[in-house]
Structure 1
Amino acid sequence: MPFVTSRRGDDDGSSATAKADSLSSNDDDAPDSTTSPPRSSSSRLPTISLDEVRASRAVAITLLARLEAEDTDVVPTDVGSKHRILITHDDVVYDIGEFIKNHPGGARRILRAAGGAVEPFWKMYAQHSAPGVRAVLDELAVGRLSTSDVAKLQEELAQELESDPFANDPKRGNVEEKLLVHSYKPFNAEARAESLLLQQHDIDDDPASHRLAFVTPNDAVYVRHHLPVPVGGGPTSIAVGECRFDVADLMDESKFRRHRVKAVLQCSGNRRSEAQREARELELPDPQGLPWKQGAIANVEWEGVLLADVLRAAGVVPEKKMVTTNDGYERHVQFAGADVPRVGDWKDETGFYGASIPLRHALDVNREVLVAFRMNGEPLSMEHGYPLRIIVPGCTGARWVKWVERIEVADDESPSFWQQNDYRILPGSVRTRADADFSAMPALNGTPVSSAIIWPPEGATVSPSEDGTVEVSGWAHAGSGRGIAYVEVSIGSDGVWHQAEEVRRDADQDMRGGSFSWTTWRTRVPLPAAPSKGGEGEIVLRVRARDVDGNVQPDANGACWNLRGLCFNGVHARRCNAAAP
């Protein structure tokens, strides 16, 4: 039987979290969770007893039970004015009664911390260590604990605070040799420039060249986590509506045909560091999130089974009446990962990382959406979603759910925070999270045309060859399966663009027909003026790409600015030093 769940018209609480402020549940903003926020200045606050803090939990429990029964995060308007709901951090007491209505992670999640210390929750939801979060909390301060109550609370919390929710993450060894680590808890790291280049022994004709490997080695594929890695990886079976398939069933070629596709996996925040630098130069608000450079991207050969085949096996047929609702809205396929937060004995069942794509997209075999179990001929690693990961070629990496354990067809998009209140490009007029209405913006799926220089590295000294040229190489990519028409490079300020000479595309896919792979390129460009003998001169290299639909990367000057720094695709500039021949 076909399976469809209907939530359209139900109030799932997304409206309560649409107005998200800077106390965000977005791990993209998270530095290492071991960094403690500054202590609040509490010397002028009245003393509140720990017993009074704990007494407020009764109000929270009653409210939480009501919200759970109604399956909503919409909080009654009088909550906060009638009763105080208290939490502590360090020695300070905060009243969150009014704030819970707009908590980006939902009222039910923050209510779990009511009547006690917030530190165990912040260890799991490490994004709360982001700059600005403590400033929001300080506005809610209403008192402080006595020295004796602080000691009592610390003693009670000792075991919980000593435990590390990330302790069972994979052992990563010398990961920094290949990856630039931005945070450890959760783990987030991108490929170093040299990791994306072909090894010298792989280059026969010109061992001095610096070309990108067309297929990214597994140990150079960037890692993007929002939560701890599930212990042992994902489950050994996957629920698809009312059906369940063992991983072994999906790998059995007598039951499901195998499919392989080369496709780019790219973080939505790739190149955000450029957006952040540009924002500072233009005095715009700093885009929020990890400062990804140009290495949160990889081109991989994925292997698995078509999602369309799995859905058909579960009873979903590609009929028009199935892909839209009666009132004409798109239906969606929701994916839920096994990375579920835990705090003490509480398992955050709704806090899983999840995403969704339109059902029409999932059933289109030309889209090549996979339930994958191999990458570059090897089983998925724990880091990349073992045993099963959703692969959505042409789509931003935010929809490629790792450790997938549940697939469901529904009238609405995934209720996951990361589908509802993140990974949507906000208008340039939205300058703070308090002004953000994520529900008014479409979910991000395809990505714009973009390119970047990988060689030479930023700040490197390059020597021109005898003909006065320098070597430049990098990648270009356009989402939604659009091919790259050409790549151009300029040097200096003369405004002259040179078309890249060596361009490699996926041999299995015609440029005009589109490609889910990236395009790698290499060229030599002439120095506009050679430095004097023995000297050096700064040069600025720029690259831009145009896709087959005519879309071209824009110039800088704030054209790509958005509050979350997503999909930055301005012309990429790299500053280097040119040495005299």
Structure 2
Amino acid sequence: MEKPWKYPLLVVVVVVVALLVPPAMLLLSLSTLPRINVDEADVNTPDKWIRRHPSMVRHTGKHPFNSEAPFDKLFAAGFLTPTSLFYVRNHGAVPYVDADRAANWRLRIHGLVEREVEFSIDDLKEKFQVVTLPVTLACAGNRRKEQNVVQKTLGFNWGPAVLSTALFTGVYLADVLKYVRPFRPMTNKHVIFEGADTDLPNGPYGTSQTLREASDIEKGIMIVWGMNGKALSPDHGFPLRTITPGRVGGRSVKWLTSIEVSDTESQHHLHFFDNRVLPTQVTAQQARDEKHWWYNKNSLLNDLNVNSAIAHPSHGEIVQLSKLLSLQTVASYDIRGYAYSGGGRRVTRVEISLDQGSSWKISDIVYPEDLYRMVAFESKFYGTLDLTERETSFCWCFWKYTASIEELSKSDAIIVRAMDEGLGIQPQDMYWTASGLMNNWWFRIAIHHEVKDDVDILRFEHPTLPGVTPGGWMERIKNAGLNPLRPEFGAPKQGNNHDAVSRRPLQEKCEPASMTDPEVNREKALFVVDGNVYDGTNFLEEHPGGADSIWLASGEADATEDFIAIHSDDARTKLKKFHIGRLQANEAESQGDDTTDAPPDDDPSASVVFLDRRKWKAARLVGVTGVSHDSFIYRFALESPEQPLGLPVGQHVFVRLRRKTTGEMVQRAYTPVSQQDEHGHIDLLIKLYLPCVAFPLGGKMTVGFHELLVGDTVEFKGPLGSFVWEGKGNVRWKDVPRSGIRHLGLICGGSGITPILQVLRSVLHDEDDSETRLYLLDANKTESDILCREELDTLYEQHGDKKAQTSGYAAAAGGGQVLLQRLKIHHTLSRPPPEWAFSTGRIDDGMLEALMPPPADDAMVLVCGPDGMINDAVKPGLERLGWDVSKALVVF
């Protein structure tokens, strides 16, 4: 077929694009990337070298960078999205690739192929036809915020702008596979892609496609290096990535280093634990706990589903009715938005309803992608841009419905739904899933009829606002106790069954998990949540946060805030079986007596020490000091410079703060690392668990600490804990005093050093105690993870035996031949450096036998660390060595 090389309209389009994006910018060099004006949020992150648009909506705090453009800016940008506004989905730090590394980049293609090869980017350009395709990438989480309003999913709050379009330049994967010749047959084989983001906790990002689909050139899968006439940006995969048109964004792997043909699908962590639609019956907590759901092949996502959204009217937009209706001409308003579908299917119909779905009107659709079908274009840098014979649709389209102002004045909502050529259509009802993916129920905008300055106006309200920004009719309806899955728009109309349905109260997934048992009405008070009384006595041993968390709340007038801050919906549901009645207000409360927070008259110390077991007290952040690559000491000022903290040795405190990015109140227990005799401040050693591939949201509490600035306040309550070291061999454990303890085994992992260090200091700084001996075993991943190393070394220099420190635990096991003074310290690392003098690997029975004191009436073991270390190694190991852990093992 002869190509129509001349077509005035498209020639103008392509020439304009080429002029706006100089072809020379396709050269693989970071010299094209601006290196100034780095966003303040990125300054202290691994991505501090990347410039990003300040208007992008961030979804995971400061790091990693996951963002979408404001909806109005994305839509105003038109068909091709500027790279600065192109949505970003990162699971960790962006691999740093400078010009030299880019020039030496190699793509390895291997596995079940006749010809294993490595290609440079220049090799790809020389051996295969260079092509450019317009492609819309869309995240499977687009519009997830709507699902999160109904019930929180596992993901963050994507809005309706998690899609973007670009001209991608590269080579077809089908051509490359043809060159390496995969072994036959093609069935039951997969093509696995892997990126260079190797610092992720569970390995680099990777996923796969079937070999049959990857070899089909009509699927359009590409290996690309160019984006809108420039090199790929760092956030979008520089210098090389895959593009899988028509499929969820997670199937396009960035920073591509490896392609493998295999007889099994990808085994990468996020190939299973992302981009899956679980059954709607599976809760978010079940999805966390019951991993088998993620391995069901029927949950795997590939093609995008049909979707659409309304961009205009925008959220909060106002139309003045009185002025427009008074005009002689017929006033109108253009309702506009986007639509897309997956698998190369074309959107064939977009319908608008102004009467809540009772009737529908056809909108006009514009397909900018079709302009590229009218002419084939070739250049040195773009290669061939030729859609003249391609029938697949890989891009979004735009639609418009012109409504008269009179129509709008009688409407309470604008609703849109789209249909594709496979007759896939957006459903009326939401299919909620724990992963929060593929949300495509009707997009609805509420219309409010109001009077402002004596003028009749229409005010438009979108369903949600992206990120943590509050607003939207879904939150408003839910906060009113109604069901956002059955939205109520406008005043009820007589005989309108749809309105009757919309006014159903909250139920099913929209209703917060019930914490009460209506069959129980006994009166007994242990702790109170939302005015209901719960008896947690039978749950003390099973409680994941320890019995202290319950004892601390017992007897309080209201523990609601504390409980809600740290418990999921599933935990709230479980609370129901402990419900024993309603709280009966006493006479003082009914009369408004507000003196309950005053310290009791017989406790003169209550106003002296800072900590209070029954009341949260605020302290201001005055400094942050780094102690390792991911751990910091946060210092908070007390109420006065001379005020004592009031924390017994072996006890800890509750800390709570309100997350800046989410507004969520969170709390956790920590053991301060402040010296016992210090006054006026409290120091917390915090190991930060920032968002990563395994935990996209990171640790709620530690991310909250990471967001703090000097001058911010957090709140403290305590002390709490079942163990107190009273000095000179005297302890109190579970309210039972014991004396004559002369040997303390101390075992810790990672940040579990904090309560151990507290005991170490107390014993070794006590001038009246010269008999207590201490045996410390500290487990970490790497040497840089050993916290408080300098202080431990100093204590050892003063109180330990150098022979024991350098001889290794094998020598320590030699029949007690190693001299022990007051302190013995030993480390074990799972990733030791060369010439490591201590132990390697996880704690085992051999270490416990050699490094802990033997079982005896005057010996105890204190442990703090991960549950796996405690329950899988320490407890069973000590039992095998003859310890009665019920009497001698203290778990902090």
Q: Normalization by structure 2: what TM-score?
A: 0.40
> CA 1:529 to 1:309, structure 2 compared with 1: closer, same or farther past 3 Å?
closer
CA 1:494–1:550: 2 relative to 1, 3 Å = closer
Give the secondary-structure state (helix, strand or coil) at the position aligned to 2:84. helix
**Paired residue for 1:267?**
139
Correspondence for 1:316: 182
2:399 is aligned to 521
1:382 is matched with which residue?
234
Q: Secondary structure at the match of 1:185?
A: coil
- Is 1:181 matched up with 2:37? no
Seen in structure 2, the aligned counterparts of structure 1 residues 511 and 470 have a Cα distance that, compared at 3 Å, is farther
Structure 1 partner of 2:668: none
Q: CA deviation at 1:216?
A: 1.7
* Structure 1 Cα separation of the partners of residues 264 and 273 of structure 2: 14
**For residues 141 and 221 of structure 2, what CA distance do their matches in structure 1 show?**
22
What are the residue-to-residue correspondences of 1:172-571 with 2, within 5 Å? 172-173=51-52, 175-177=53-55, 179-183=56-60, 184-198=62-76, 213-232=78-97, 236-241=105-110, 242-252=116-126, 255-277=127-149, 279=150, 285-316=151-182, 321-324=184-187, 330-341=188-199, 351-431=203-283, 432-433=286-287, 434-435=289-290, 437-442=293-298, 443-463=300-320, 467-493=330-356, 495-507=358-370, 508=373, 513-527=391-405, 539-556=412-429, 558=430, 560-571=431-442
The yes-or-no answer on 1:171 pairing with 2:50 is yes
CA deviation vs aligned residue, 1:486-545 (integer Å, no higher than 9, x gap): 1111224373322112422521269994301111112212356665xxxxx984221100
> Is the 1:237–1:405 contact (alpha carbons within 8 Å) kept by the matching residues of 2?
yes
Shift of the 288–485 alpha-carbon distance from structure 1 to 2, 3 Å rule, reads: same
Which has the higher Rg, Structure 1 or Structure 2?
2
Contact persistence 1:501–1:522 (CA under 8 A)? yes
Secondary structure, aligned partner of 2:426: coil
Identity %: 31
The 3 A distance-change label for structure 1 pair 215 and 268 is same
Q: 1:572 to 1:401 in 2, by over 3 A?
A: same
Give ranges in structure 2 of 5+ residues lacking alignment. 1-41, 111-115, 374-386, 450-455, 459-892
Once the two structures are superposed, the pairs formed by residues 42-191 of structure 1 within 5 Å of their partners are: 166-173=45-52, 175-177=53-55, 179-183=56-60, 184-191=62-69
Q: Give me the whole-angstrom Cα distance separating, in 2, the residues matched to 1:169 and 1:311.
A: 37
Output the amino acid matched with 1:237.
R
Distance (Å, rounded) in 2 between the aligned partners of 1:571 and 1:494 = 10
CA 1:308–1:502 in 2, change beyond 3 Å: closer, same or farther? closer
Cα distance in 2, alignment partners of residues 421 and 373 from structure 1: 28
Deviation at 1:172, TM superposition (A): 2.5
Q: What SS class does the counterpart of residue 259 from structure 2 fall into?
A: strand
Deviations, residues 227-269 of structure 1 (Å, cap 9, x unaligned): 11001278611111131001121233xx211112111101110
Distance in 1, Cα, partners of 2:447 & 2:390: 35
Q: Is the 8 A contact 1:462 1:576 kept in 2?
A: no
Q: Structure 1 residues 530, 378: CA separation in 2 closer, same or farther (over 3 Å shift)? A: closer
TM-aligned CA deviation for residue 170 of structure 1: 3.9
CA-CA distance at 1:462 after TM superposition:
3.0
Q: Which amino acid aligns with 1:299?
A: T
Q: Would you say the 8 A contact 2:356–2:415 is kept in 1?
A: no
- Paired with 1:493 and 1:441, the residues of 2 have a C-alpha distance of 37
Q: Does the residue aligned with 2:305 lie in a helix, a strand or coil?
A: coil
Partner Cα separation in structure 1 for residue 351 and residue 162 of structure 2: 22
Matched-pair contact (CA < 8 Å) for 1:489–1:525? no
Contact 2:195 2:258 (8 Å CA) reproduced: yes
Higher relative contact order (CA 8 A, sep 6+): 1
Report the AA paired with residue 185 of structure 1. Answer: H
In the superposition, relative to structure 1, how do residues 497 and 376 fare at CA in structure 2: closer, same or farther (>3 Å)? same
Provide Cα deviations, 1:431-457, integer angstroms capped at 9, x if missing partner. 221245111133211011111112222
Does the 8 A contact of 2:170 with 2:223 survive in 1? Answer: yes
The superposition leaves residues 350-402 of structure 1 with CA deviations (integer Å, 9 ceiling, x where unpaired) of: 51111111111110011111000111121111110001010001111001000
**Residues 279-323 of structure 1 deviation map (CA, whole Å, 9 limit, x = unaligned):** 2xxxxx422211101100012221100111222232337xxx331
Q: Output the CA distance in 1 between the equivalents of 2:411 and 2:433.
A: 30
What amino acid is aligned across from residue 269 of structure 1 in structure 2? Answer: G
- The answer to whether the Cα contact below 8 Å between 1:395 and 1:479 also exists between their aligned partners in 2 is yes
Q: 1:30-50 CA deviation, whole Å, 9 max, x = no partner? A: xxxxxxxxxxxxxxxxxxxxx
Alignment check: 8 A CA contact 2:365 2:397 kept: no
Retained in 1: the 8 A contact 2:218–2:390?
no
Determine helix, strand or coil for the equivalent of 1:197.
Answer: helix
Q: How many residues align?
A: 375
Q: Distance in 2 between matches of 1:323 and 1:566?
A: 30
Task: Give me the TM-score of the superposition, normalised by structure 1.
Answer: 0.60
